[in-house]
Amino acid sequence: MLVPPFLILAFLFFIGSMVGWGLEVVFRRFFSSANPSRRWINPGFLIGPYLPLYGLSLCILYMLAGFEGSITILDPVLEKVVLFVFMAICVTALEYVTGVLSESVFNVKLWDYSKQWGNINGIICPKFTLFWMILSAIYYFLVHPRILEALEWLSENLAFSFFIGFFFGVFTLDVIYSAKLLPAIRRFASESGLVVRFEELKEQIRVYKEEAREKNRFIFSMRSSRPLSEHLARYADRFHNMHDKTA
């Protein structure tokens, strides 16, 4: 039995979002220079254990792997290199569009590569495009064959689509809940003329909760006893103080 294309993409989004979230948690815990305290950090804007960017990226890698035969290069090694470069470019383009939309629509900077060499608007940079290329090669050789096996298994066990539907139900509720924060952040950004760096705001809230001896939840990292407007005001004060010191 064939798996409908929409179910394939939903399945890939489900797997990619959750695995990508796990990769980001480990990366930020052990390798990120933005986390010198080496704390466990829940990455991304949403509450749950998923990152939509990785889910969409896995869908892209899966579809591009299927077009391998369309590359008319006789040298098989060069053919693979071209494929991996193209995969990295496509995922980087997705990353750029996501970053531009979050800044232009909501005035929120979800990540910041402004300190990386060759960055474009702090949204993409050659270093992380290279990482995407390496991940593309890992996907092609190690993950893609397993994905094909998983899709064959899914075709024989379509009842599993119930769990995929359940995931999207929880995911949709999470998006709705998290989106409630955006109007306040957007209003603050418009009034103050600042672009809110989301990771910095989360870190500020975490520090406040430690000072106030509040329980710091890994999942609900944006929730505290103080309203978001107060945290945003503190964020603006901190920004202006840092700017005055460097002026």
Q: What is the pLDDT of residues 133-150, one digit of tens each?
A: 999 999 999 999 999 999
Higher pLDDT, 226 or 21: 21
Q: How far apart are CA 171 and CA 185, in angstroms?
A: 21
Q: What is the pLDDT of residues 49-85, one digit of tens each?
A: 889 999 999 999 999 998 876 777 778 889 899 999 9
pLDDT of the residue at 214: 77
Read off the pLDDT of each residue in 146-163 and give the average, rounded to a whole number: 90
Q: Which run of H or of E encompasses 197?
A: strand 196-197
What is the predicted pLDDT for the residue at 132? 95
Q: Does residue 230 or residue 215 have the better pLDDT? A: 230
Q: Tell me the average pLDDT of the chain.
A: 86
Q: What is the pLDDT of residue 244?
A: 53
Three-state secondary structure of 132-151: HHHHHHHHHHHHHHHHHHHH
Kindly tell me if the per-residue pLDDT of 1 is higher than 60. no
**Distances from the Cα of 164 to the Cα of 12, 90, 169, 171, 244, angstroms:** 10, 26, 9, 10, 50
- The closest alpha carbon to 40, from 30, 50, 52, belongs to 30
Cβ-based burial of 205 (10 A; exposed 0-12, middle 13-18, buried ≥19): buried
Most confident of 105-109, 148-152, 156-160: 148-152
pLDDT reported for residue 168: 93
Q: In this predicted structure, what is the pLDDT of residue 180?
A: 83
* 211 pLDDT tier (thresholds 50, 70, 90): confident
Residue 246 has pLDDT above 60, yes or no: no
Percent share of the chain, pLDDT over 90: 42
Query: Is residue 118 predicted with pLDDT exceeding 70?
Result: yes
| Terminal Cα-to-Cα distance of the chain (whole angstroms) | 66
